């Protein structure tokens, strides 16, 4: 089959690789009909190469058609249309039973002291072959495969793999009071969708970014927007909009963005120049000081407010946190990989009615799998209005 594989920093290629096969009785094989490029894929593209091997298949946001199942997979059959969550989980362990599927004890990557395995996300998260490919082996398919109805286009359902549940969880974790206010930092795919979900739930939403196209897209959905380049003091400007005290809640949808601030990019680039043997410990222990947005979130949120972290914080283990300010302002923090399956039942009704979240028009680009390297490049550079790129194997 053809698959998008990693060959080095900013070097991804579509190669011919062996077809996946059933390896366990609870596996399934799907023919991928749509898969996406995620902002977290750019972390592998840019800086996490020390955890990625040449030829590794990338990608973790797929849907497709079941072509084969193991004997223990009974709720789906060949021919069924399914979405596959990016977090691989069993559905029956202590963590899954409590709705924390991203911490699945069956699939935890204990060798890295991390949570559950992810598709296409390097040896940090289990080294499981990814979904930017013509076919995908799905472990734990007896629980993982989400059957979706025939009829509506893939764009209605593919975001159940990551974008929708991650954004939904971010809003839930933000704990916005009824009629309350939310500030979203970053209007990439997760920030856009979090803003739409919060609006759908009846909250006031203010969003901050510096890309004009992304600001305009959010504005069209009713979000109040701030271009951070127009304000020397963004938290101060937001306080002026929120009775002088700041919003009830903040979502950081940037994290240690792999294609963001020049200062942070420099530190990641320096790390990237080292050999894998040296760079991996640097990333694990030294960090890369890309917490500018988190600092702004802490400054922005009102006292006794909540911050929900949705952006990836995979830059290091020694990042300085302003604990005095967090303590003094009595701020609550929630964060973590999305527990995808926990939120599916809440989200599915919104995908089978009149599309209130605008998922069918969410993608800015639809490319053939062979064009994936170009997709990565325009997404990294934010060229051509790129915000969400779907690949069609």
> Domain containing 323 — which CATH number?
3.40.50.720
Q: Are residues 201 and 151 in the same domain?
A: no
pLDDT tier for residue 122 given thresholds of 50, 70 and 90: confident
Q: Are residues 168 and 154 in the same domain?
A: no
pLDDT tier for residue 60 given thresholds of 50, 70 and 90: very high
Q: Are residues 104 and 29 in the same domain?
A: yes
Length of the chain: 393
pLDDT tier for residue 317 given thresholds of 50, 70 and 90: low
Structure tokens at 199: 């609006």
- Strand-by-strand arrangement of the 249-252 sheet: 224-227, 204-209, 181-185, 249-252, 306-309, 332-335
Per-residue confidence (pLDDT) for residue 150, from 0 to 100: 95
Least confident of 44-58, 83-97, 113-127: 44-58
pLDDT tier for residue 288 given thresholds of 50, 70 and 90: very low
Task: Say yes or no to pLDDT of 278 above 50.
Answer: no
Q: Are residues 345 and 321 in the same domain?
A: no
Residue-range definition of the domain harbouring residue 44: 2-162+339-392
Q: Are residues 215 and 257 in the same domain?
A: yes
Total domains in the fold of the chain: 2
CA dist., res. 161 & res. 340, Å (int): 7
Per-residue confidence (pLDDT) for residue 196, from 0 to 100: 98
pLDDT tier for residue 217 given thresholds of 50, 70 and 90: very high
Task: Say yes or no to pLDDT of 13 above 70.
Answer: yes
> Domain containing 155 — which CATH number?
3.90.180.10
Q: Are residues 98 and 32 in the same domain?
A: yes
Domain limit, last residue, from 311, 335, 359? 335
Per-residue confidence (pLDDT) for residue 259, from 0 to 100: 45
CA dist., res. 271 & res. 67, Å (int): 42
CA dist., res. 252 & res. 107, Å (int): 27
Q: Are residues 318 and 347 in the same domain?
A: no
pLDDT tier for residue 48 given thresholds of 50, 70 and 90: low
Q: What value does the mean pLDDT of the chain take?
A: 90
Asked if 58 and 130 touch (Cβ cutoff 8 Å), the reply is yes
Per-residue confidence (pLDDT) for residue 311, from 0 to 100: 77
Q: Are residues 175 and 249 in the same domain?
A: yes
Q: Are residues 155 and 293 in the same domain?
A: no
304-331 mean pLDDT:
84
Per-residue confidence (pLDDT) for residue 261, from 0 to 100: 46
Q: Are residues 306 and 373 in the same domain?
A: no
Q: How far lies 102's CA from each of 125, 150, 202, 296, in Å?
A: 11, 28, 28, 27
8-29 mean pLDDT:
97
Of the candidates 129, 89, 132, 82, the one whose C-alpha atom is nearest the C-alpha of residue 108 is 89
Q: Are residues 176 and 249 in the same domain?
A: yes
Q: Is 157 exposed, middle or buried (0-12, 13-18, 19+ CB in 10 A)?
A: buried
pTM of the model: 0.91
Domain limit, last residue, from 316, 335, 354? 335
For residue range 77-99, list pLDDT tens digits in order: 999 999 999 999 999 999 999 99
**Which residue's entry shows tokens 């919060």?**
198
CA dist., res. 391 & res. 367, Å (int): 5
Per-residue confidence (pLDDT) for residue 314, from 0 to 100: 58
Q: Are residues 331 and 353 in the same domain?
A: no
Structure tokens at 172: 């839930």
pLDDT tier for residue 321 given thresholds of 50, 70 and 90: confident
For residue range 128-184, list pLDDT tens digits in order: 999 999 999 999 999 999 999 999 999 999 999 999 999 999 999 999 999 999 999
Apex CA 346: angle with CA 344 and CA 349, to 5°? 95
370-381 mean pLDDT:
96
| Half-sphere exposure of residue 245: CA atoms within 13 angstroms, side-chain side | 10
216-233 mean pLDDT:
96
């Amino acid at each position: 089959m053809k698959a998008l594989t990693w060959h080095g920093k900013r070097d991804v290629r579509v190669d011919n690789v062996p077809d996946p096969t059933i390896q366990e009785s609870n596996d399934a094989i799907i023919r991928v009909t749509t898969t996406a490029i995620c902002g977290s894929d750019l972390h592998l593209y840019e800086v996490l190469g020390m955890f990625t091997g040449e030829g590794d298949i990338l990608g973790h946001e797929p849907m497709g058609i079941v072509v084969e199942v193991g004997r223990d997979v009974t709720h789906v059959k060949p021919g069924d249309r399914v979405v596959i969550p990016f977090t691989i989980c069993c559905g029956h362990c202590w963590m899954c039973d409590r709705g924390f599927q991203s911490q699945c004890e069956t699939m935890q990557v204990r060798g890295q002291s991390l949570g559950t395995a992810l598709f296409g996300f390097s040896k940090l998260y289990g080294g499981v072959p990814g979904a930017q490919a013509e076919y995908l082996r799905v472990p734990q398919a007896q629980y993982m495969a989400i059957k979706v109805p025939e009829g509506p286009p893939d764009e209605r359902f593919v975001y159940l793999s990551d974008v929708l549940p991650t954004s939904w969880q971010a809003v839930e974790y933000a704990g916005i009071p009824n009629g309350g206010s939310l500030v979203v930092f970053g209007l990439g795919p997760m920030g856009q969708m979090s803003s739409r979900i919060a609006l759908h739930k009846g909250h006031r939403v203010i969003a901050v970014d510096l890309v004009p196209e992304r600001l305009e897209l959010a504005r069209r959905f009713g979000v109040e927007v701030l271009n951070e380049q127009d304000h020397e003091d963004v938290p101060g400007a937001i306080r002026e909009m929120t009775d002088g005290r700041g919003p009830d809640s903040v979502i950081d949808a940037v994290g240690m963005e792999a294609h963001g601030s020049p200062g942070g990019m420099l530190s990641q680039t320096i790390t990237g120049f080292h050999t894998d043997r040296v760079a991996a410990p640097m990333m694990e222990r030294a960090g890369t000081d890309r917490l500018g947005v988190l600092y702004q979130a802490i400054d922005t949120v009102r006292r006794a407010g909540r911050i929900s972290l949705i952006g990836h914080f995979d830059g290091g283990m020694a990042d300085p946190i302003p604990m005095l300010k967090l303590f003094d302002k009595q701020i609550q923090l929630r964060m973590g990989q999305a527990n995808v399956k926990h939120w599916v039942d809440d989200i599915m009704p919104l995908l089978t009615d009149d599309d209130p979240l605008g998922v069918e028009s969410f993608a800015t680009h639809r490319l053939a799998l062979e064009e994936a390297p170009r997709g990565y490049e325009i997404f990294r550079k934010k060229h051509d209005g790129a915000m969400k790129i779907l690949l069609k194997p």
